[in-house]
Amino acid sequence: MVNATRVFISCNIPMAQFIIHYNNSLPQKFTIHVLDDTHLLVPPQAAEMIRRAISEFRDQNSYEKPA
């Protein structure tokens, strides 16, 4: 079993900004190491929280054509 100390995230600049903003909006913040504009390191327990937040954000901002 692998025990990761950090999870590497590679994304575009707007998504990295979304993740940083999401972290700043939490009452209990996690540590983000910003490597550059498109690469971040986050704790493993934060990775699933980030995935859920991105999924919710995409669901809220998707267009469905009326029937």
Domain boundaries along the sequence of the chain: 1-35
In this predicted model, which residue has the larger pLDDT, 45 or 63? Answer: 45
Higher pLDDT, 8 or 65: 8
φ and ψ at residue 10, rounded to 5 degrees: -115, 120
* pLDDT at 62 (0 to 100): 78
Distance CA 1, CA 16 (A): 29
- Residue 1: is its pLDDT beyond 90? no
pTM: 0.81
- Residue 2 is predicted with a pLDDT of 66
Burial environment of residue 66 by CB neighbours within 10 A (0 to 12, 13 to 18, 19 or more):
exposed
Give the mean pLDDT of 43-51: 93
Residue range 27-36: mean pLDDT, rounded: 93
Rounded Cα distance between 30 and 46, Å, is: 7
Taking alpha carbons only, the member of 60, 62, 17, 63 closest to residue 40 is 17
